[in-house]
Amino acid sequence: MKKKIVLDCDGVVLNWYGSLCKKFKRPVEVLYDWDGTEWIKPAWDEIVGDEDFWSNIESLVSPSEINFDFEAWLTHCPEDMVEARKYNLKKLGFPTKKIFTDHSKLNCMIENDYDVLVDDKPLTVDEINDSFSSTGKIAIRFQPYYYQLNGKHIKDLRLMKSIMEEYSFDNYIDIFEAKTKV
């Protein structure tokens, strides 16, 4: 059975962090975690309703790197910025898909019967993978250029095609381990 994939936007296909750094004239520093980025919370408060910001976030990957089918975007953008997010994705050449802004990505996956999430946030990935035995949902962590985090991840979205072609619940761990880096 074909698995239903959803993609996060920020940190997977859109360079939210780099665009935020640019807007606030800060260097793009390598992140080992979100600790030490205390400037981001006040910056978030400033851009949360900034339609220009949400309409012009730079691309992190080329749309051609999405060489697999996916169902929707599952993102953490503000609800009232969804139209700006749609415009931004379309302007950059990404596929037009439904956008969910649910703050619980696991709940959204369960409610909409999605199987696999590609996300950059380790806590989100861990929450979903920790629920596998009860939900059957999995997450694959994408690591953007500015992260230097430990753990399994992919740095090239094109790997998703082969991961999903070889995927089954029985061999998920083996395939993921073979195609990801620590």
CA distance from start to end of the chain: 29
The pLDDT, as a whole number, for residue 125 is: 92
The one-character DSSP state at 143 is: -
Give the pTM: 0.89
In CATH, what number is assigned to the domain containing residue 61? 3.40.50
Torsion of CA 156, 174, 8, 117, to 10 degrees: 150
- The structural domain count of the chain equals 1
Question: What residues contact 126, with CB distance under 8 A and at least 6 apart?
Answer: none
What is the predicted pLDDT for the residue at 148? 84
Q: Residue 51 is part of which domain span?
A: 5-179
pLDDT value of position 55: 98
Amino acid at 39: W
Q: pLDDT means per 10 residues in the chain (182 residues)?
A: 91 96 94 75 94 98 95 94 98 97 92 95 91 91 88 87 70 54 50
> How far apart (Å, rounded) are the C-alpha atoms in residues 78 and 86?
12
Question: d(Cα 6, Cα 102) in Å, to the nearest integer?
Answer: 13
pLDDT at site 115? 94
Q: Give pLDDT, residue 37.
A: 77
Query: What pLDDT, on the 0 to 100 scale, is given for residue 145?
Result: 92
For residue 117, what pLDDT is reported? 96
